[in-house]
Amino acid sequence: MRRMFVALGAASLLIVSAGLAAAQGPGGAGRRPGGFVGGRMGQMGGAGLGMLRIPEVQQELKMTQPQIAKLDGAMQAVQESMRELWQGGGNFQQMTPEEREKLLAKNEEIQMKAVAGILDQTQMVRYKQLALQQGGAMSLLRPSVGKELGITAEQRAKLQEVQREQMRALFQRRGQGGPGGQQMTPEERQQRMQQFREAQAKTQEAMMNVLTAQQKAKWTEMIGKPFKFPEPQFRAGRRGGNRPGGGPGGQPPL
């Protein structure tokens, strides 16, 4: 049981900074946490090239057709960089906190460099705000965000514990049985989504309460004008066929 929670914690940290593009490619949970990210949970932390695929985000950023056309090539390049990064990174679960921080910072750097190669400076400002909004309080665990907010080691430990509690709850809920994503009736899916939203809201509140008043004010400034992300849409399929989208924390893992 303890080993499972260690694995969940490692996967959670990767989710925070990886983004959708980093979720692609081979791998498994036994060697690195990428196995947890390859499906619907890949967007929980916000950021990454995956967010640029959302039509509403493209409109908000005023992306041009030439910019949109660059996404596929950029995604492939990021996937290759991520494979190289994780192949040389060793066992994530056995790393020291400092080694994990370094690896995750590099992970985020690869993503942001790819996005910056597509967007102009004005678009990048808004993109960063949207990435924080989509990631919600989960973004507080991203190395760059923690540095900008001045999050202490004690605060980070509290944030990680809150997030681990959410992961435990999600996996326990999935372990209780019941129909899979493609087997659910529309009513069952709606009920599951509502349960996820309620749990998500509690987690968001608990994580934000770790911040000081000054940090909360800084966070409000960092996320900018509120943007309404599209609700995730589910279609039958092996992995649910989810459409990218969702509010803080991304898509519910059904």
* Average confidence score pLDDT of the chain: 74
pLDDT bracket for residue 174 (50, 70, 90): low
Q: In sequence order, which residues have a C-beta less than 8 Å from that of residue 178 and are 6 or more positions away?
A: 188
Domain ranges of the chain: 2-38+47-168+194-223
Mean pLDDT of 52-76: 95
- The confidence band for 225, taking pLDDT boundaries of 50, 70 and 90, is very high
Query: From CA 180, how far away is CA 174, in angstroms rounded?
Result: 9
Radius of gyration of the chain (CA): 17
pLDDT tens by residue, 129-172: 999 999 999 999 888 899 999 999 999 999 999 988 887 877 76
Q: What residues contact 101, with CB distance under 8 A and at least 6 apart?
A: 143
Residues 6+ apart with CB under 8 A from 163: 12, 138, 141, 203, 207
Task: Assess whether pLDDT exceeds 60 at residue 241.
Answer: no
Q: What is the pLDDT of residues 113-131, one digit of tens each?
A: 999 999 999 999 999 999 9
- Which is more confident, 51 or 35? 51
Strands (E), the chain: none
- pLDDT bin (cut points 50, 70, 90) of residue 238 is very low
Tell which wins on pLDDT, 182 or 108: 108
- Whether 214 shows a pLDDT value over 80: the answer reads yes
Indicate the pTM of the whole model: 0.70
41 has pLDDT over 70:
no
